[in-house]
Amino acid sequence: MLQPPSGGTGDGAAAADNRPMSIGAVLKVLRDEFPEVTISKIRFLESEGLIEPQRTPSGYRKFSSADVERLGRVLRMQRDHYLPLKVIRGHLDALERGEDPASPEARQGDGAGAQAQPGTFTPYGANEGAEAPTAARVGRAELLAAAGIEERDLDEWESYGLLAPLPDGGYEAVAVSVAALVGELGQFGIEPRHLRAMKASADRAAGLVDQVVAPLRRHRNPQTRAHAEARTKEIAGLTVRLHAALVQSALGVRLP
């Protein structure tokens, strides 16, 4: 369950007793666990059919506690499993119908050739090799559909290095989030060529994280090596938060 923000202004209490919440109040509740979430992101998830908040006669969104909980699940599945939105939607819809779809963790742990069940996610190429990949992947067509982009968009973004296919022609599933964000920025006139510096900065940050975690990955103790993945996620999350804070500081504004 999402927890109310500490020291907040009562938004957590509103969620707890199911009082309708504005989109700004929902953002405050979510920010504790998902510091990178924005109002634009919430609106995007609504446009993709992941949530359906009520509307006042004047058109303002009003979110119930169930809406906030569903948002949290969507964001968690994106963050932890890099699942495409249509897969997340199918999984949550199956839960609401009273079905018991396999969890993303369980599905990613299935062996090659396992048959996918409704509402579950089959990693790209999992049925084609001897071993399922440790991270979910998507095919090119699935990436285009999940991100809502055209072939020409993907070709252009690849030419600038913002996205890159894997050797088998698929993509790491996080590419769906990258594509969606690049598309959103494009609505504000920010073109792919403007984002090359951001990609270079991300590559440097990834190199720094890898440098810190590398000794754990090379350790003889299997438990220590396993701990490397958790440490990678932890440090990566801190770098994302730092980047957001630095942008906020440079702009001299408080981000939503």
Please give the Cα distance from 98 to 158 (Å, whole number): 41
Provide the phi-psi class of 118: left if phi over 0, else alpha when psi is between -120 and 50, else beta. beta
The answer to whether 48 and 41 have CB atoms below 8 angstroms apart is: no
Please give the Cα distance from 226 to 228 (Å, whole number): 5
Alpha helices by DSSP H, listed for the chain, are 11-16, 23-31, 39-47, 65-81, 85-96, 104-108, 140-147, 151-159, 174-186, 196-217, 222-251
pLDDT the model gives residue 10: 43
pLDDT the model gives residue 228: 81
Please give the Cα distance from 90 to 116 (Å, whole number): 13
Per-residue pLDDT of the chain (256 residues; tens, 9 = 90+): 454 443 343 445 455 556 889 999 999 999 888 887 888 889 888 888 889 999 988 888 899 999 999 999 999 888 877 677 778 888 888 888 887 766 544 444 443 333 333 333 333 333 333 333 334 678 888 888 878 888 999 999 999 999 999 988 899 888 888 998 898 888 889 999 999 999 999 999 889 988 888 888 777 777 777 788 888 888 888 888 888 888 888 988 776 5
pLDDT the model gives residue 131: 33
Please give the Cα distance from 200 to 197 (Å, whole number): 5
Q: With a threshold of 0.95, does the pTM exceed it?
A: no
pLDDT the model gives residue 255: 65
Helices 23-31 & 65-81, crossing angle to 10 degrees? 50
Q: Which domains does the chain have, with CATH numbers?
A: 11-80 (1.10.1660.10), 82-86+103-190 (1.10.1660), 193-256 (no CATH)
Structure tokens at 236: 């990566």
pLDDT the model gives residue 123: 36
